[in-house]
Every structure is written in C-alpha cells, then in structure tokens.
C-alpha cells in the first residue's frame, strides 16, 4: 500500500491535524514515521523524522512556531535541526531529559516541557501528557480539551510497539495505556501507521497482548525456566528470526515488571530468575 505523503486527517476545536509519512530507517513494519503539523498559523511540527519534499512543502505552507517530539528515538527526530533552522521555531524538549535530546538531535532546545505544559494555538491549546513506557522521555500531545491525541509509539493500529528493557519500562507502559483508555480520546494519531479511529478498542487489544505475554512469561518461570533464553523459548511460539533481540528485551521488561510487583524474583545482573515464594 502506498500512503499518500500528506493528508489532512481531521479538524478539531480549530486544530488541524495534518499527517506526513516520512520514510526512515525504522523497524516499524511500515518503514515510515508519521510527522504531524498541528494548526496552520501558528502551527506545531511534531516528530520531523527526516527531511522530504512533501514535509518541506507542508512546513513552507504553515507558520511553524514550535517543534516538539514525542520521544527521542532516532526514527522520530532526524530533521529537528533542519526544520529548526528553516523555520526559526521554538524547539522544545522534555524536562530532565535535555541531555538525551541534545545527544540524539545535536540541537540545544530553547524551552522545556513537562506533563501538563500547554502550548497555545489560536483559541485552543496543545497539552503535553506524560506517556512513559516505550521510552523514558515519551509524551503524548492532546489537541484541544478532550481532543484527539498524538500518541507517538504508545499505540499502533496493527501489531504492537516495542517495549524492551532497559530502554522500555513495561509497568509504565501499561499505566500509560490505561491512562489513554481512561481519557477516551476521539482518535489517536500514532507515530507509525494509520490513524486509530477507535482508541479504546486498540488500547484494549494492546493491554490484552501484554497481559497474555506476561502470563506466558510467568508460566514459563513457574514451569522451571530460569534463564532468559529458556523463558524466551517458552513464552514465544513463533519463529523469532530477525526479531529475537527485541523479543529478548521484551521478556526482560516483563520480568522487571513481575519482579517489581512481587510475582517473582528477577536478577537482571545474573540474568536469571526464580519464583519468589
């Protein structure tokens, strides 16, 4: 399927959400990251993953006053500097993660945000929501009060996102999914793939996917698997060629969560585990 490079996805409370899919080096199945432009004049550029003609054109047609990223994975930030130079926009970064932002983008941010920071856009606001789990600095962006949410790599319409230790935190991720479910936005705009029009359905699917995997990890340990490799083989049935490293990191994240919750003991340094009691 060839996605159109740029399409206006929705208008809500006077924030226009325009998606521009950008080809990038990513392990997301689409091979693309969604950059978004919110509003028109002023406008916010979100996740400029790479520079393309289509994104150049979109940026040229709007008054970009702010640049924000949902998190600092390389497949979301590749053109921050290019578009910052091009537009003179205010570049924002997540408080307490400024070094990480600078290291990945090579750009010193002008301003910092935290959960509940708002950015004014005409007669409504963009609100920053804390959304850790996939990455420690991950945020989501609420477009207008109770409006749709740009959710970065918290959710995806098909399949699942990577939540792998040490970068990912499964407990935080599950909390983030539950928070988004409770907020019940009209739509989610993800970092990869198409718009999620039925957010609760997708969030429930993603929560169930994690719960299922967690049950299998726990069952593997209870059945006597003590090493990461043994747990991995028992918790995954499918052929893991090419994604074994991701599956391994995911199992680690599940083990950390189960350990934190007292379901088992996981020694991350030794890489082994046993049922706690």
- Which residues of the shown chain bind Zn ion in the complex (CB under 5 A)? 73, 153
Nearer to Zn ion (CB atom), residue 39 or residue 191: 191
In b/e form, how buried is each residue of 76-85, taking b as 16+ CB within 10 angstroms?
A: bbbbbbbbbe
In b/e form, how buried is each residue of 238-252, taking b as 16+ CB within 10 angstroms?
A: eeeeeeeeebbbbbb
In whole angstroms, how close is the CB of 246 to Zn ion at the nearest point?
Answer: 12
In whole angstroms, how close is the CB of 134 to Zn ion at the nearest point?
Answer: 6
* Cα–Cα dist 202/189, whole Å: 12
In whole angstroms, how close is the CB of 215 to Zn ion at the nearest point?
Answer: 26
Nearer to Zn ion (CB atom), residue 109 or residue 191: 191
* Cα–Cα dist 51/38, whole Å: 17
Residue 248: HSE in the Cβ half-sphere, 13 Å Cα cutoff: 13
In whole angstroms, how close is the CB of 124 to Zn ion at the nearest point?
Answer: 27
3-state helix, strand, coil in the chain (%, to 5): 35, 25, 40
Nearer to Zn ion (CB atom), residue 73 or residue 127: 73
Residue 147: HSE in the Cβ half-sphere, 13 Å Cα cutoff: 22
- Phi/psi of residue 201, each to 5°? -60, -50
In whole angstroms, how close is the CB of 189 to Zn ion at the nearest point?
Answer: 15
User: CA quadruple 67, 165, 210, 207: dihedral positive or negative?
Assistant: negative
Query: Which residues neighbour 120 within 8 Å (Cβ) at sequence distance 6 or greater?
Result: 126
Nearer to Zn ion (CB atom), residue 147 or residue 191: 191
Nearer to Zn ion (CB atom), residue 73 or residue 257: 73
Taking Cα atoms as reference points, which of 5, 96, 111, 92 lies closest to residue 47?
Answer: 92
In whole angstroms, how close is the CB of 176 to Zn ion at the nearest point?
Answer: 13
Nearer to Zn ion (CB atom), residue 45 or residue 258: 45
Reading the block at residue 156, the tokens are 């995806």
- Phi/psi of residue 9, each to 5°? -90, -35
In whole angstroms, how close is the CB of 35 to Zn ion at the nearest point?
Answer: 14
Reading the block at residue 246, the tokens are 């991701």
In whole angstroms, how close is the CB of 244 to Zn ion at the nearest point?
Answer: 19
């Amino acid at each position: 399927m060839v996605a159109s490079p740029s399409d206006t996805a929705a208008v809500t409370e006077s924030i226009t959400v325009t998606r521009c899919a950008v080809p990038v080096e990513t392990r997301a199945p689409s091979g693309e990251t969604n950059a978004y432009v919110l509003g028109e004049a002023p406008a916010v550029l979100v996740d400029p993953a790479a520079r393309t003609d289509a994104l150049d054109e979109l940026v040229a047609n709007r008054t970009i006053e702010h640049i924000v990223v949902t998190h600092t994975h390389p497949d979301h930030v590749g053109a921050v500097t290019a578009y910052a130079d091009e537009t003179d926009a205010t570049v924002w970064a997540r408080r307490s993660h400024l070094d990480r932002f600078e290291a990945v983008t090579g750009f010193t941010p002008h301003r910092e945000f935290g959960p509940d920071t708002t950015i004014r856009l005409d007669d409504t606001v963009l609100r920053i929501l804390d959304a850790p789990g996939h990455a420690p600095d991950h945020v989501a962006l609420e477009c207008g009060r109770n409006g749709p949410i740009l959710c970065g790599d918290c959710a995806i319409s098909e399949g699942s996102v990577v939540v792998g230790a040490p970068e990912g935190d499964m407990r935080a991720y599950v909390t983030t999914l539950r928070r988004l479910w409770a907020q019940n936005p009209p739509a989610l705009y993800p970092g990869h793939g198409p718009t999620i029009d039925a957010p609760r359905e997708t969030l429930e699917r993603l929560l169930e996917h994690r719960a299922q995997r967690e049950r299998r990890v726990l069952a593997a340990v209870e059945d006597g698997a003590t090493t990461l490799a043994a747990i991995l083989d028992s918790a995954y049935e499918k052929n893991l060629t090419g994604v074994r490293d991701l599956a391994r990191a995911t199992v680690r994240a599940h083990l950390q969560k189960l350990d934190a919750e007292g379901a088992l003991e996981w020694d991350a340094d030794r890489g082994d585990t046993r049922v706690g009691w």
